[in-house]
Amino acid sequence: MPKTMRAALLDAPGGPEALRIGETAYPDKVNAEFLVKVVASSVNPIDAKTRAGRGVFGAIHSFPAVLGHDFSGVVVESPYSAHPIRPGDEVFGMVMVPRFGGSYAEYVSVPALSVVRKPSTLSHIEAAAVPVAALTAWGMVVEVAKAHEGQRMLIHAGSGGVGHFAVQFASYFGAHVIATASGGKASWLRSLGAAEVIDYTTTRFEDVVHDADVVIDLVGNVHDDTGTRSLQSLRPGGLIVNAPTGSWPTFAEETAAAGVRGTDYKVAPDGNALAVIARLLEAGNVRAHVDQIFALEQIADAHRAVEGGHTRGKVVVKVAEG
């Protein structure tokens, strides 16, 4: 095997231009880990925040660093010879950056419990759009909010990477989904299962939604106090699940004062949950939407696209042919 590999490297925090293409050390596979040749990755908001010096940047202890959580690719080495997933098999999953080297690279080493067979109906490009966003949505909507028939669920940023999966999961389990998004996305969100779509650029959602059982908050107070305003849309005792916790430092105090329940959420690389999601994707019950595709050499432009905040679904990075 080679001693080095091509990757997008980060030497110091900065804008998208801080990412450069270069050579870095080939990953070490130890214990029950897979070595995977990466065909595609994707850009998540946490990647952009980390690159800029926020997110999980404080846990990076050596440079250059390789970012990127999502991967879809081909197994090079399995944890052991009798493992059911063998070299040559197509897999996808999520790698915990910066505990492990990221997927903006030709190869990644990943714990066995984080690796799942890629759905045969999905290309590597489509599969790379799934893990972080879908696992986040699954955790918030299914595991925490326990989506079910008759439940009224308000989902903010419904057209985004996490949001478009959240809308589909909530609808699949029978919830009445009310999604917020900018204009022009209503028909698409309805096709994903949203019963109602609110254009946040023309309508204050708290003026029209007052009895939600659950709010899936993918915005927080980073824009127009969306998180705080959401408390007005919940019924007494309702639940708000917040993902961008850093934008709302008074979250616990405000939810308690409003008489509702609140929790933050952090995604985990749960292979068991991802395997269930894979079956839903394979069956066509859920679909991943890829908005834009960039080559690894265009990683800075991919980050700019995500930071622009207007993508529909996911931005994917093609690392290799496959």
pLDDT in tens, 73-127: 999 999 999 999 999 999 999 999 999 999 999 999 999 999 999 999 999 999 9
DSSP per residue, 143-176: IIS---TT-EEEETTTTSHHHHHHHHHHHHTT-E
CA separation for the pair 114, 128 (Å, rounded): 14
Q: Would you say residue 163 has pLDDT above 90?
A: yes
Of all residues in the chain, what percent carry a pLDDT higher than 90?
Answer: 94
pLDDT band at 169 (very low <50, low <70, confident <90, very high): very high
Count each helix (H run) and each strand (E run) in the chain, helices first.
Answer: 10, 15
Q: Which residues pair with 263 in a beta bridge?
A: 241
For residue 244, the model assigns a pLDDT of 84
Residue-averaged pLDDT of the chain = 96
Q: For domain 4-130+289-318, which architecture applies?
A: Alpha-Beta Complex (3.90)
Q: Distances in Å between the alpha carbon of 281 and those of 103, 121, 142, 163, 289?
A: 22, 8, 16, 16, 11
The model's confidence at residue 221, banded by pLDDT at 50, 70 and 90, is very high
Mean pLDDT of 53-67: 96
Lowest-confidence region among 29-38, 72-81, 86-95, 308-317: 308-317
**Residue 269: helix, strand or coil by DSSP?**
coil
pLDDT band at 322 (very low <50, low <70, confident <90, very high): confident
Closest alpha carbon to 165 in 198, 138, 128, 142: 138
State the Rg of the chain over Cα.
19
Sign of CA dihedral 204, 218, 163, 299: positive
Q: Which pLDDT does position 183 carry in this prediction? A: 84
Do residues 261 and 239 make contact, with C-beta atoms less than 8 angstroms apart? yes
Confidence of residue 247 (pLDDT cuts 50, 70, 90): confident
Give the pLDDT of residue 176.
98
- Please say whether the dihedral angle defined by the alpha carbons of residues 83, 84, 90 and 96, taken in this order, is positive or negative: negative
- Quick one: average pLDDT of 219-224? 90
> Tokens 């001693």 — which residue?
3
Domain boundaries, the chain: 4-130+289-318, 133-264
pLDDT score of 309: 79
Q: Quick one: pLDDT at residue 227?
A: 95
Which CATH code is given to the segment(s) 133-264?
Answer: 3.40.50.720
Structure confidence at residue 225 (pLDDT): 94
pLDDT in tens, 249-281: 999 999 999 999 999 999 999 999 999 999 999
For position 214, what pLDDT does the model report? 98
